[in-house]
Each structure stands twice: as C-alpha cells, then as structure tokens.
Structure 1
Amino acid sequence: MNLPQQVFLRDAMRTLNLTRESLSQRIGCTKRALDTWLLPDESGEFRAMPEMARRFISEILAASASGGPASAQATPAATTTTSIPTAFGRLSHLLSVDQFSRDTAERLFMLADVMQPIARRRKVSRVLEGAVLANLFFEASTRTRLSFASAFMRLGGSVSDTTGFTYSSMAKGESIADTSRTVSGYADVIVVRHPEQGSVAQFAAATHVPLINGGDGAGEHPTQALIDLYTVQREFSRLGKLVDGAHIVITGDLKYGRTAHSLIKLLSLYRHMRFTLVSPPSLEMPSEIVELIAARGHIVTPTDSLAHALPDADVIYTTRIQRERLTGEKIDDFLAAFEINKKAIDQHCRPDVIVMHPLPRDSRPGAHDLHTDLDGDARLAIFRQTDNGVPVRMAIFATLLGVEGLIQRSLRDALWAVPATLGPNDFPVDDLDLPSGR
C-alpha cells in the first residue's frame, strides 16, 4: 500500500519508538521540516518529504524488522501476549484486548491514520458498499452505537439497529444463540453490547460472521480501549513524548469500569509503565487485573488520594461511577474527594498533562464526575477522544471484512462544505497534527 506521507511517518515513529525530535536527528533534518512533513496533505503548511528521506527511513525500518541495529528500539512487551480467544484479523471476532500485541495494535492504528481524512470529512470511500452492520445494543448507549454506525456508513455500508430488550425477540424468551444465528443471516458484521458479562461471547459462539464486543457488562470494552490508546499516542506525538515510561493515573469506578479494565491491559504492552489507581473504597481495580499488570513488570500503586496521585501524571483517565452496576457499595460520602476539576489539575499537575474520560460523564451538580470547568482547556482531550472513535472503528471494520488494502486507492474528495473544526471549542483540525507551542 502506498501510504500517505503523514501515515508513513507516524507509523515509522511508532515502529522505531522515536519522538519527532529523535526521528529528525536520526535522519538529519530539522524538527521544523519534519513537522511540515507530518501535516495532513490538505494543510496550507504541508511540505512534501524528499524521496531520499523516505528511502532512508524505509531502510531503517527494514533493518529494524530484520534484527539490525534499529531493532534495539523494540520492546520485549511488543511480542508478549496472554492467552487469547483468537487473533484479530479477517473474519475473526473482536472480543477482548487480549487478542492484541503491541505490534498488532499499532498496525491497526496505522490503518486508522489512513482513515483520518474520511473521518474528518475530507475524503469519501465506498469500500463497504452493500455490506450491512447489525448494531445489537441491549444496554443504553449514545456514543458507542452512533460511532460504530458512523464508521460503517463512512465506508459505504448500511446499518440496522436494535436497542434494548423491549423491542427484541429476547423479550419473548428467544435465546442468545437463536438471536445471534438469525441476525448473522441478515448482516455481514455484528456489534453487541449487553449488560451481563460473558453474554457477548455467547453471541459470538453462535454466529459465523465477525462479531465485535461493544461492551460486556463489567467485563471489557475493547474498541474503547483501542480508541483511548490511539488518543494517547496522538496526544503524545503532539507533545513530543513516548508512551513507554509514561505515568498513567486511572481514577473513578475501577471495579465496574470496563473501559479502565481494557485500557490498562493495552497500556501494559508498553515498557516501564507507572500506573496509579485512584478509587473510592470498595470500587478498586479487580485484583486479578492488578496482578497481571504487575507481573508484566510495571509499577502499580493503588491509592485513595488524588493529591498523591496527580503530580508527574502524563495522563489522567477518569471514569464515572457505574451506578447501574452497584451491588450495595456505599460511595456517595467519598465522591467529592475524587472529582477531577480545574482546581485539582492546576494545583497538582504539569502543564502538559492530558485529561481523558470515555464518556458519558455525569455533569449534574453533586455527581463529582469530570467537572465541566475544564471545558475549552487544551489539556482536556475528551472530544478528540470521541472523534478518534470513528477512524479506529473504521480500521476495525476494514480489517475484519478484508478491505484494508483497498482504502487508499478508493478515496475521492468530499463534495460538501466541511467545517474547519469538529466542535466549537476545538483546535483547528490541522493544528492537532503539530506539536504544542507552535
């Protein structure tokens, strides 16, 4: 695949584990020149990279792949995997982040980079024209359901939706197996969200078409974790930082917060990570996940104090309390001490900290979730996070349905008027691809 220049360079930095500054030094160009090469093609400041530079980087990548000197940048965790249900690929199911190694996750992110112009409404592709997605959501959802639908339709497919038990045949007593087998006759790929942990795997066992876990009770949310990791990588690239060695603070409902469960597993594929886990009493991260992360050689520190956790944090990932899953835990007396707000960030954090949340956040007074007083603050990445959901899920669909190699040559210009930003308080789209301080 003849990759766009920006995608080629981003993938090279991920593969070689280099920042913009270290890559520019490695290939003998100025950092400013590299910054202009990394801009989207449609940017007014984009500059074409000299062919000699592309060849040189390609040679470095080839040496790395063959075990040459560049391979010293590789990490042991890149090839470390746990027991997985199946590898992620064509016509497989996507049920767990355990299906990914660092290498396979980053290859997916390279494809997501290719999808960015489509997600940003600059380009159009119809590689899934005629294909049908069945969105089976037996639990409330706005972002996840619409993000999957948008991703599929932006590749030319169509979507059939069902929401809740009331309007499904399962309300009449139909089994999961019967529902899954029936729907697989109608659709080319299925997304399932279900409130009971383990139910999504039951759906997958009864279908012969690819099935994606859209949220499995208190278990996992693998696509959200992939989106979150992709967002961390893009934010770090903008700031000139590497994921390896980062300090990640995860706070909120860590017992039932399936996004936190999946994300910490993916981040543990990187080297020398520090995780500080902050939660109210009785909502701590499950011990089996903490033990897994520690066994991979990372530092895991549980605490109930934000003041102790936030200094030196590179990322703060906070989640709402999953009140619909609580089983008698008494938490309301503690919540005020766990609120992430502008005062806490200004008082304890570095200026380049990234604040993330999988959304929805509870913005009602007294909820003590991520506070709205951070809205419009460049450190708040939550809407860039949601925007990244579309290209990542497009990449997942393209991989599962085997069209990933067709994307680049299928692109054509969008013909409608496109906004300069995706939201009223966002950076201009081009500025997201430049390092901070531009």
Structure 2
Amino acid sequence: MRFAGSHVLSVEQFSREDIEQIFKVADSMEPYALRKRVTRVLEGAILGNMFFEPSTRTRVSFGCAFNLLGGEVRETTGFKSSAIAKGESLYDTARVLSGYSDVICMRHPEAGSVAEFASASRVPVVNGGDGANEHPSQALLDLYTIQKEVKAKGGSMDRLRIAMIGDLKHGRTVHSLSRLLALYECLDVVLVSPGELAMPESYVENLRSAGHRVTVSSELNQSISQVDIVYSTRIQEERFSSKEEADLYRGRFRLNQAIYTKYCQPNTVIMHPLPRDSRSDANELDNDLNQNPNLAIFRQADNGVLVRMALFAMILDVVDQVDSHSRDVNWYHRRANE
C-alpha cells in the first residue's frame, strides 16, 4: 500500500508487510506518546474529527495522536450539531469540510458511509467505524497489542490461539480483526456467542480459506481453556431494534477472576476494545480482574495512540521528519518517569 495521501477505509487494504511497517512506525512513536520528547512535525496541520456516533476512546485517541505530532484538531460530534441535520448530503459535507482540514477521521452509524464520504473528500479520510461494518484502526491497535503481549511471553503471531467472545454479529472490531488475523499462519480461532449473534459467515469462511482452524461455540468455559488471547466484546445495544432485545443477550458471557483461574492458562491475555459494560446485568469483564497482570485492556487503549500517530505520520508522509522536529519535554509528566 502507498500510504502517503491515501484513505484508510478497510483492513482489506493492508498486506502483512504493510502491517509490519505500521507497527515499526508505531514503535518509534513511543517517546512522544510517553511525553519523553515533543515533536512539532505536523505544526499547522488540521485534523477534522467527525463523530456522528458516541465515542470516547476513538475520538480522543485520534485527537491526542494528532496533537502529539504537533497538529490541531477540529471536532464535530453528533448529527444535531452538524448541517446533516438540515438535510445536507455526505457529498456536500465532504467537499466543504475537506477544504478546512488536511486529514479527516469519521465515524458514522451506517455501513459504507465513510467510504461514500471519502469518495467526495479532497483530503485523506480515516474510517473511525462505520456501523457494524469495519473499524480498521481499532483492528490495527488490537493486532499491535496482541503481538506485543504474546512476544513478551515468548510467543509469536503465527500459531496464535484466540477466543473472540460476545456480540460477533454486530461487533465491527472483531470483523476487522478477523480479516487481519487471516494474514498470519496456522491460527486456532474460537468464536463464542449466542447463535443469534454469531460471526457472519463471510468472516468465518475468510479465516478457514486462509488455512486457519475455526471453532464456533456458545459455551464459554471450555472455549477459553486453551487459548493465548481472550478477546471479549460487549453487546452492541445500539445495533438492536430495542433495549429489550439487547437485554436478551446481556450478561451471557461473564469473565471474572474465579472463572479465569479455573479455566484459563496462567498467561492467557484478556483484551476488550472498550467500553466494557460494567453494569450489574452485564459485567462482561469483572472489576476483580483489574489487578490481574494479564488484563491488557488499558495497555490496549494506550497502544491506540501509537498506532494512530503512525497512521497520521504515514498518510501525511512525515515519518522521516518526526525526530528532526523534536525537542525535550520541559514539564513533569509521570509516565515519562515510570
């Protein structure tokens, strides 16, 4: 893939070599993310952050990543605060806002909407999630986290054993992640969900056609007993016709320390794209896991900044200039001193 000036709309754009390149650049961003150095390589550049669905981590992470490279961020959140509420088309919105920005990140509730927007944009567009379809930057940060976690334990991406759990029908994070995992070799993938929320067959077939072993299950405990990674997802309430329908599935697959100790291997890594639903009727990842060193959900969130910094640096073609526009940090920052 030629990154400079390109849209990032789907994980299908990436080869394994592309991913390795992104991760190499992400590694180089660590001093800046940890506030050990400051770079102003994107000084004067503007990110248009357009989020038409609720978001905390993705929206703030993209903005933080751009700021850490020296750029500025302008945001639109929700339909009511945009001209779309007045009937403006995605085409017109794209033509106008791409004149105000150097790169745009967009989240929208309809599948395919970000690609439609990008077709009219005059600047690169990054898909921040389009309905139940894709979330490419989340899949990249998930894969980056998996690689770091298993490597720290002496493992590798090839021959990885992973269980994906929860709402696999509507979960765009697992859709995109499964596509990236298909690029590796000899994986053992367990898909755990209620039958009604099973992973769409196209994603299952993509993994199998790549030579991976895929097991479909509706039973949690045995499914997590022989894996390196447990990747849990929440019930995607916003994709259901009503809260009552979503409630039929909420809390089906709960993981706590007692279940982890009984069924998981000692080094099994726990991941979740966040937010985890901690309400009592869901409680998909119990708070008693917070002190478990294999709970990687917050490392996962931190890694999102590194990966998104890498994407911006590559899309705006400044990777080789980052260090030359840097200086020491002149304020105290706890993470830089850890």
Q: Under TM normalisation by the shorter chain, which class is it?
A: over 0.9
Residues 170-206 of structure 1, C-alpha deviation per residue, up to 9 Å, x if partnerless? 0000000000010010000000000000110110000
The answer to whether structure 1 residue 363 and structure 2 residue 281 are counterparts is no
1:335: how far off? 4.1
Correspondence for 2:184 among 264, 270, 294: 270
Report which of the two structures shows the higher radius of gyration computed on alpha carbons.
1
**Mapped partners of 2:335, 2:129: distance in 1:** 32
**Mapped partners of 1:316, 1:343: distance in 2:** 15
1:160: how far off? 0.3
**Mapped partners of 2:180, 2:13: distance in 1:** 10
Match of 1:434 in 2: none
**Mapped partners of 1:420, 1:98: distance in 2:** 35
Q: What SS is found at the alignment partner of 1:316? A: strand
Match of 2:170 in 1: 256
Residues 69-124 of structure 1, C-alpha deviation per residue, up to 9 Å, x if partnerless? xxxxxxxxxxxxxxxxxx35100000000011111101100000000110011111
Correspondence for 2:8 among 81, 94, 100: 94
**Mapped partners of 1:360, 1:307: distance in 2:** 23
Matches for 1:312-351 after TM superposition, within 5 Å: 312-327=226-241, 330=245, 332-351=247-266
Kept after mapping to 2: 8 A contact 1:280/1:335? no
1:330: how far off? 4.8
Q: Unaligned 5+ residue runs, structure 2?
A: none
Moved more, 123-132 or 366-375: 366-375
- What is the Cα-based RMSD across aligned positions, in Å? 1.5
Q: Percent identity?
A: 51
Kept after mapping to 1: 8 A contact 2:235/2:249? no
Matches for 1:169-208 after TM superposition, within 5 Å: 169-208=83-122
The answer to whether structure 1 residue 143 and structure 2 residue 86 are counterparts is no
Kept after mapping to 1: 8 A contact 2:99/2:122? no
**Mapped partners of 1:183, 1:337: distance in 2:** 43
1:333: how far off? 4.9
- TM-score by length of structure 2 reads 0.97
Kept after mapping to 1: 8 A contact 2:192/2:219? yes
Q: What SS is found at the alignment partner of 1:134? A: strand
**Mapped partners of 1:333, 1:131: distance in 2:** 46
Match of 1:408 in 2: 323
**In structure 1, what residue type is equivalent to 2:334?**
P
Q: 1:331 to 1:304 in 2, by over 3 A?
A: farther
Match of 1:8 in 2: none
**Mapped partners of 1:335, 1:256: distance in 2:** 14
Kept after mapping to 2: 8 A contact 1:111/1:395? yes
1:373: how far off? 1.4
Q: Unaligned 5+ residue runs, structure 1?
A: 1-86, 422-427, 430-438
**Mapped partners of 1:335, 1:106: distance in 2:** 37
The answer to whether structure 1 residue 389 and structure 2 residue 304 are counterparts is yes
Kept after mapping to 2: 8 A contact 1:276/1:300? yes
Kept after mapping to 1: 8 A contact 2:182/2:206? no
1:212: how far off? 0.2
**In structure 2, what residue type is equivalent to 1:384?**
R
Kept after mapping to 2: 8 A contact 1:151/1:391? yes
Residues 287-332 of structure 1, C-alpha deviation per residue, up to 9 Å, x if partnerless? 1111111111101111001122111110000100001101479564
Kept after mapping to 2: 8 A contact 1:191/1:213? yes
Match of 1:281 in 2: 195
Match of 1:219 in 2: 133
Kept after mapping to 2: 8 A contact 1:254/1:279? yes
**In structure 2, what residue type is equivalent to 1:385?**
Q
Correspondence for 1:399 among 314, 318, 322: 314
**Mapped partners of 2:229, 2:138: distance in 1:** 16
**In structure 2, what residue type is equivalent to 1:180?**
A
**In structure 2, what residue type is equivalent to 1:175?**
S
**Mapped partners of 1:322, 1:419: distance in 2:** 35
Q: What SS is found at the alignment partner of 1:167? A: coil
- TM-score by length of structure 1 reads 0.75
Kept after mapping to 2: 8 A contact 1:306/1:337? no
**Mapped partners of 2:247, 2:84: distance in 1:** 35
Higher relative contact order (CA 8 A, sep 6+): 2
**Mapped partners of 2:160, 2:229: distance in 1:** 8
The answer to whether structure 1 residue 161 and structure 2 residue 68 are counterparts is no
Residues 228-272 of structure 1, C-alpha deviation per residue, up to 9 Å, x if partnerless? 000111112211111110101000110000001011111111110
Match of 2:295 in 1: 380
How many residue pairs are counted as aligned between the two chains? 337
1:368: how far off? 3.4
**Mapped partners of 1:89, 1:163: distance in 2:** 27
**Mapped partners of 1:382, 1:253: distance in 2:** 18
**Mapped partners of 1:341, 1:281: distance in 2:** 23
